Each structure stands twice: as structure tokens, then as C-alpha cells.
Structure 1
Amino acid sequence: MSESFRQTLIQAAQSGTQDGLDVLERSLRAVEPSDVLAQHLATLGFRFESEARVGLAAKAYALAARMGRARAPGYRLAAIRARILDLCQNDDFDSVEPLLDELQQAKDATQDRGQADPAFTDLGWACEMHGEAERAVRFYLLARIVRDKFGGAALTHDGDTFEVKIKNLRRLQFDTLLPEGRFDEAIELHKRTGCVHGSAPLAKYQIVSAKALSEAGLASYVEVLPARRIAAPALKFWEPPPPLRSEAGDLDMPPFYLAFLEEAHAFPRSNVVVTGDRVVYDVAAHPRRKDVLIQDGVNLDQIMMAAFGQTHALIELPENAERIEAGLVMFGLQSRNYGHWFSEFVPRMICYNDPRCPDGIPLCIDDHMPGTHEEILALLDTRNRPVIKLPAKPVSFGKLGMAPVPAFFPFDMKPGQPFYDTIWPSDVFKTIRDRILQQARDRGLLSERRDRRLFISRKAFTQRVLENEQEVADRLRPLGFEVIYPETLSFLEQVALFHSAALVVGSSNSSLNNTLFSQVGCQILGLIHEDLSFNFRGYTSYVESGGAQITFLRGKSSERRSNVHAFHANYRVDPKQVVDAVAQLATRSPAISGRIVT
């Protein structure tokens, strides 16, 4: 190595600039290739790389590859890797994809196993953690290419496929853009990646309620029950009444209506209904919309994307929709969940049984519902309607009948807003109760017994689990309690069982739904974790519609994973408190007061 070239190399290293490397490159034109010289250049590249100046490192490694002999393929590989990282740092992601083939060829030439390759999955995850959604999307797109072409990692750090992750990140971006009215930008973002996760184009729709649609002359609308004010539930706790952190639901009930739309698109497992340039969605059209977090169009089992702004929404309308000439909506978001099914969907049968609802129109349900759901429909249906099970495919209806959730029920509120504790109207649920009990009575299923004591097991479930259930059961059995497993019983068997009970103890979850059918005066002890935002008013107003009375006993919440909602936390209760509460509640039960088992 000549002294003049040595000085040029030193100056390039000291300057640490692109200009210094350009001077060095020009001086190489007069120098013969040499492994020693190449090693000096590679060392310079390594230094730049350790200083996170990967653009300069890529240049130095490329010069080493040009001047080297035995180690030239290895330097070439290092140059490509550094070049890729430099492009990523400068958000020039489009230029990275062509280099991936070069990277693979360089690895093949050196028999390199790729441990030092740019880790796009790691880089995407790091961007997610820093709230850089767009950069995360671009890294995951590159990781997807590496997976498909070269057998790279298949999942993100939290177990999602790259397709699901990209879709979810886009939704996060939409949630930022839409409140600012930037619908066109959101649509353009979707155009870039919609094909990755198999989504059709998005379009903008005005959000309207069913009533507003009818006022515009675009739907028929009749009120089955008028708007009315209901009484607030009287909450009862075993402890002194705690200071709840939830917002009490409105006592002014909306009209309970029956509406028909012509030519509408709907989506099983979703509440989204589109007709013309409007999306009919009562919760999204509610005056409280600004406080409500609408997650419809996000869940993994949903077949379309949706994102809601204040007055408009972006909806994906997939092609090749199944055609149904007429149907009644009994499908939607969380329809499979028994608690949601009974409070949000079952009441609609009151409207569909109304004489103003034409005969012969089928009830349309999600095909992943459990059998108990269909059993309930058959018991409530007074018109002998056919039932259509809808798979997870979009549907085009010639005529679509809709009825609402009987109260304003937002799934969740935006961060910073207290949980909205919906209060349910007793007139609706008493009607449901009376119809079901009459059906059970007609079948000879209701016994004369009224003094059973029931403890509901939660062992078959993984959320909101009473962790010391066995301990509680062991304390209750000597007091005459039977341990029951509702999931092993038909719906009518559960109705008959609860109707024969004087005392019921169980976790406050969907297993308490059928206490609606308990006799008047039945005492229910609802066990629950300590979260003061829980929907105590919702449970009370629902359960007590049938005349039973519920008292809550709060335990101690267990630690939960970050992806588990606070409402679904597991917990433990003090068995002695349960026993003491049962003794007190027994004195209030008409069926067993005066003959308490101790």
C-alpha cells in the first residue's frame, strides 16, 4: 500500500463523510486489488456500521468487495446488508425489494445462513412500540416478501401473520385520519396494501340511524314500543356501596322499531348495513358517538374492514356477495356470545313477531352460533319463520328487515371516557321471559319445586374465572347447594332449573343470564372481581326484569395479561363472606325464609 493511498484512507476514516469515501474511491482506480487493502476497507466499513452510519458502511464494504479477492463475496454480502439498512433508515422502502434477490444470491455464494440479515420483523415490531405505524407496515411488507420467497419468519412477535398485522396497523392509521376528515388519505393507504390481506376497495358512506333513513324516504319504519323513561335499578352490594367508576346508562329508552330497507348489503358477524351511499348504524349515529369506540370491522372473524369517523365511515364492500331476496337481521357483532346474544339480539324477536312484520321472511343468523341460540329462536318465533344460517360471506338483500338493540349499548368507550353501564328496559325482557316460561310450561318442564340452591360452575371457561371455585363449592354443598354446569344443559333445561331455585350463587357473567327466568323473589349472589367500572347496573336491570333480586359480592382481582380486558379478569373471593351472604339472602327468599340450612 503506497503512502499516499494510506493517507487517503486515513483521511476518509477521519472525515467520516460521503465526500471522503468518494475521494477514496477515485484513488482506488490506480491501485491493484489486494486482500490486505480490502481488509482495511472492510474494517472502515465495520467502524461506520458500529457507529450506525450504515450508508457509509455500505459504501466501504462495496469498495472492499471491489478490491478483494478471496474474501470479496463476503464483503459484497456485507455491503448489500448495510445498503438495505440504509435505505430503510431513509424510508426508501421501495428500493429495498430488488436488493432482496441480490442478498439471497450473495448468501448462496458465501454459504451464509443469514443470521446477520436485516431483521424486518424486529424492525417492524420496534416501530410498532414507538407508534410509527407506517414504517411498521413497510417493514412487515418486506418481512412478508422474505417469508414467501426465502422461507423467513412467518409471524410477528405477538403471533399475528404479517397480513393480519398490516390490516390492523392500517386500522390504527384510519382511526387517526378519520376524526380529522382525511378520508381520501385513508383510502389511498388502503389501496397500497388492501391486496395483501385480501380486502376490497374502501368507500366513504354517511352514517345514519334507521329512523333518519326513513325520514329521508329511504326505508319504512314503525315503532313497536315508543320512547319511554324507565326507573333506575337499585344496586345491592354485600359490602357498603362502593364508589362506582362507570357512567350510569340513560333512563330514556329509544323507540323499539321495525324498519325495512330495499337493496342493502350486510355482513355476517358485523352490525354494518350499507344501502346506497349510507351506512345504517344506530350506535354510530348516536349523539354520544364522539365518546364511543366502535371496533366493528376489526375482529379477526369479520369479513370486511370498516372504520368510523364522526359523520362518515369507510366500509369495504367485497364483490361476489351472496344474494338473498328478503331477510330479518339476527346476525351481528358478538352474536355468538351468549350474553350479547340475549341482551342485544333476542329482544328483536318482539319486533319480528309484530303483526306489521310480513309473514314468510326468514330469520338470518350467523352460522357459528351455538345450538342454544337456535333453540331460543324457535321458542320465541310466533310466525314459524324459516332460518337462514349465513357463512362468513357478504350478503346482498333485496329487502332487509331490522330491529334495534333495546337500549343504547356501546361496546366500549374511547380512552379517557368512563365505561358506559347500559340500563336495560324491563318491559322488553319481561316480555321475553313470559314467552319462554309459557313455552316451558306448555311442555311440562316447570316443576312445582321452588327451593333449590344452585352454585354455577365456571370451570369450563378461561376468562372471569373464580380461581378458588372448588373451595367455595365445598363450603356451599353442606348448605344444600347443587353445583351446576349450564353449558351441559339445553336452554329449556336451564330455564326449568333456574325457575325452581330460591338461591343462586355464581360469577357475574353470561351464566347469570338465565336467572331472568327465576321465580319472583329468588335471591342471586353475583360474584365478581374488584373492578368498580363493571356493569353492575346492566346486570341488575336485566336480571331483576323477571322479579329476582341480585346482590354483588366483590373479590380480589388476579393479575391479568395486557391483552385481557379488565372486565374479564380472574379473581378470588373469601368463602366465609360467601357463606355469610348466603345466610342473609336466604332470609329474603320467600321460598325458604324461616327454614334456613346452616
Structure 2
Amino acid sequence: MIFEALMIDSKSTEIRERIATSNIYPYAPAAAGGFFNIKLEYLEKDAALGVADRFGEALLGQPNLGRTMALRSLYEQASASETFFQQVWPRGSHTVRMPLVWGVGRQPDVRVPQRQIFCATLSDALVTGRSGMIRIGNSVVVDYFDDELKDWPVDFRFDPIIFAHTDDEAVVVGAGDDAPEISEAISLLGCTSFAFGHWISEYIPKYLIFKKIGAPDGIPILIDADLPPQQREAMASYTQGRHPIIEVAGFSSVRVHKLWVVSTLGFVPILPKPGTPIGLNHISPPADFVADLFRDIAGTLPTIPFGGSRLYLARKPSLHRRLINHEEITDICKSRGFEIVYPEEHSFERQLSLIRIADYIVGPDGSALLMAVHARPGTKLLIMNHPFLENLPTLTHILEEIGLDVQILEGECTRYDPSYRKFSDYRIEPTSLTAILDS
């Protein structure tokens, strides 16, 4: 039997351990054993409903947990809410300022669509650890607008509870009848919450919007269990004790009688289908609005008096989008007085202090540079990257609105990634970097 290993017997232990220790990073190669890839292995051999049933048996110890449910947009569900719905930013369009590229200049501004940003409360909602989906009745609720899915085909199967989907329905798995109940909560659960870049650009802004609209203190915040400690520390720093924080284990569900939700600032596809270019359309929130969110929180965050005026935010070469001559580039920066820091090796408080004290920040494009939203106005930031800059203006425009002096140094692509060209490898010309730093 194809799924013999998934049945609740001696062989299921191996599968459960494989899933429990898997790397659920969305773009992990098959060799990395990512949860998404484990799921795809079985979906190649049987129908989605059968796979969902067997994953439910292996993960939750219960049979027949697969369901076919209607797929509904968060906006459709939220706008029909009888309790609370508030528009935070209207739908329309706005301008994205292109970054200043060293030796090239600045391209003309680009006009892009703007999704509506809203906050709402949903009644009797079922949420699940490591999942961004919300189940209400016989519907699974997803944050998208129809035109966004037309532009970017998305594979929702990366979300742990989704095993197949069309435009109208999805095959899902998960227990709910015996789920513990909470009267009210804010959900920051999601299948990308473990990634620091997503945490700062997607999840934390949702909390800042709750704060901005005046959501009452004391409402519990649901976050995924086993997040990296820096993200848990960041949440504590942002909330300052105003909200209890409840950790939800992966695949465990919680029923919330009044669930507070915020739409993402821009469309953030959890897994664009390979080969799909990710441009500025839909992903770019209004830069002045986001800058205001982080300016408002800046005065409440703690700092400690250590750090230096020159900071190099290094990126480990084992990650995608590799800077292949990173050692040479690091040595150049070190020789000019830059402190070399791998942010993931430090607490959130330490990272925050280093960022806020720095006068000059240099680093390869990556999630670490998102901490620059906490830098002081006037800080000079140099971002090194390959020539494929299609979504970088989203960040650079926000940072410029905060008051940073931002410049891009383009490198030469050394390995092109046809699935997601954003993940291509590159090399920075040392003489170019030297010229910038010495000037």
C-alpha cells in the first residue's frame, strides 16, 4: 500500500519524526526534507483527500480528517462581519520610488496597484499553528484578492493544512471539534512566521496596525510555538506587556470566538509558482503609511549603550542568494572599521541597539536589512545585490520615508535561478565597493 508508512503503526513513527524535524522553509530543496516537499512526494502517488486523511492520522492520531471546503477570501469574509470591520487604507494605486543605484542613478517612479488594508473581527474561527488559513464553518479563509491571483499563480499547498486547491475550494486537514476555545485573540500565526524577514515585514506590521486603530490592551496574541528566540523577543519588545502571548504548537488548532485579523500590507504569496516573476504590483504597500507605523513604535523600544558607528550585516553563504565573494567583501569592510555582525547570532535587543547606534550600515540583500526600519534618520545604508531588483524598491522606498540615505550596489549574477530569479547568486566587484566606502 502506498501510504502504509503513514498509518498509525510502527512505521508511522518514522514519518512523524521526519515531519517534526523537517525544514519547513518554503523554498527548501527536496534534499532538505522540507515539509512541503514531503507532502508533494505523497501527492504524486494518491489523491489529495486520501493524502490529507493519512497525514492527519500521522500528525494528529485521528482518522478521516481530510475535508473539501469552500475557498473564500479574507476580504469577503471580513466585510460581511457583523461585529467589526474597519478600512485602514483604501484600495487604489500609489507611487513607488525607485532606489538610487550606484553608477546608474535612479529610474523613474512606478505607479502600482494598492490593495485595501483592513482590520476586522471574525466569529467562531478555527486557527492552526504554522498555518495562515482560517476555517469558519465549511470555508477556509485566505488573504487574497482575485486580481492578485490572476497576476501571480500561488501554490497554497505550502500551507501545512492545504493539500489541493482550485479557485473555489480546497482540500484541508485538521481537527477542530476538540480544539481548546478562547473568547478573544489576535492571530499572528502563519506558515512563514518562522522567517525573520516575513516576521518584520508582514506579521509585526499587523500588530502595529492593531495598536494604531486602538485595539484594547489585554487581548491575547497567538503566535507559533518554537519560533526563533529573536522573533519571540521582538514580539515582547513591541507589545511591552500590553498583551498576553500564547504559543500554538504546529498543527494544533484553537477555536476563537472573536478573532481579530488584519490583511497584509501587500500581497505576500506564500509560494508563487516557480518561474513566476515577483514584480512591484500588489506587493508594495504605501511607503509613508508603513514608515509611520515604525516611527510610532520607535520611541517605545529599548536600546542598550553598545555598538559602533559602522555596521556590516553579514549573510551566511549557506543561504540562497549567495554573495559568492563574501569573504573578500567582508575583509574590505572590516579594513574600513566596520563591525561584522551575523544578526541571527544575537538577541533582538542587541540587533536593535547595533542598528540604532550605527551611522553607516552595509550588507547583502536579505532579511537582516529589514532591521533598518529601526535605524535613525540620516543613517547611510548600502545594500549589495544582484541585478534583479524587482521587489527591492518596496523596502528602499519605506526606508527613505523613515529618513535613511539608501543606495544599491549591483553585482554580477554568477548563478541564475530559473524558478525564482530573486534567489540567484552574485558577485560584488571589490573596486566598486572600495570606491563607495572611501567616498
Give the TM-score category using the shorter length.
Answer: 0.7 to 0.9
| 1:347-374 per-position Cα deviation (integer Å, ceiling 9, x unaligned) | 1123322565344220111112122223
Secondary structure at 1:494's aligned position in 2? helix
Q: Which residue matches 1:260?
A: 121
Describe how 1:362-373 pairs up with structure 2 within 5 A: 362-373=220-231
**Alignment check: 8 A CA contact 2:365 2:385 kept:** yes
TM-score by length of 2: 0.80
Pairing 1:360–2:218 present: yes
Q: Considering fraction of residues, name the structure with more helix.
A: 1
CA distance 1:312–1:397, shift in 2 (3 Å): same
TM-score by length of 1: 0.60
Q: How many residues align?
A: 416
Q: Which residue matches 1:65?
A: none
Q: Which residue matches 2:15?
A: none
| 1:52-109 per-position Cα deviation (integer Å, ceiling 9, x unaligned) | xxxxxxxxxxxxxxxxxxxxxxxxxxxxxxxxxxxxxxxxxxxxx7xxxxxxxxxxxx
Which letter maps to 2:254? V
Pairing 1:494–2:358 present: no
Describe how 1:20-419 pairs up with structure 2 within 5 A: 167-169=39-41, 171=43, 187=49, 190=51, 200-217=64-81, 220-227=84-91, 229-240=93-104, 250-255=112-117, 257-283=118-144, 285-298=145-158, 302=160, 304-319=161-176, 320-354=178-212, 357-381=215-239, 384-392=242-250, 393-415=252-274, 417-419=276-278
CA distance 1:520–1:142, shift in 2 (3 Å): closer
Extract unaligned runs of 5+ from structure 1: 1-96, 98-137, 150-154, 175-184, 585-598
Give how far 1:505 is off.
Answer: 1.3
CA distance 1:293–1:141, shift in 2 (3 Å): farther
Query: Is the deviation greater in 493-502 or in 570-579?
Result: 493-502
Q: Which residue matches 1:578?
A: 433
Which letter maps to 1:348? K
Q: Which residue matches 1:553?
A: 409
Query: 1-side partners of 2:31 and 2:336: how far apart?
Result: 47
**Alignment check: 8 A CA contact 2:383 2:409 kept:** yes
Secondary structure at 2:143's aligned position in 1? coil
Q: Which residue matches 2:24?
A: none
RMSD: 4.0
| 1:301-353 per-position Cα deviation (integer Å, ceiling 9, x unaligned) | x3x23433113222223254333332111111211111100111101123322
Extract unaligned runs of 5+ from structure 2: 13-17, 19-29
Q: Name the structure, 1 or 2, with higher relative contact order (CA <8 Å, separation 6+).
A: 2
**Aligned with 2:422 (options 558, 567, 570):** 567
CA distance 1:434–1:311, shift in 2 (3 Å): same
Query: 1-side partners of 2:31 and 2:379: how far apart?
Result: 46
Q: Considering fraction of residues, name the structure with more strand.
A: 2
CA distance 1:322–1:534, shift in 2 (3 Å): farther
% same residue? 22
Query: Is the deviation greater in 260-269 or in 461-470?
Result: 461-470
Q: Which residue matches 2:294?
A: 433
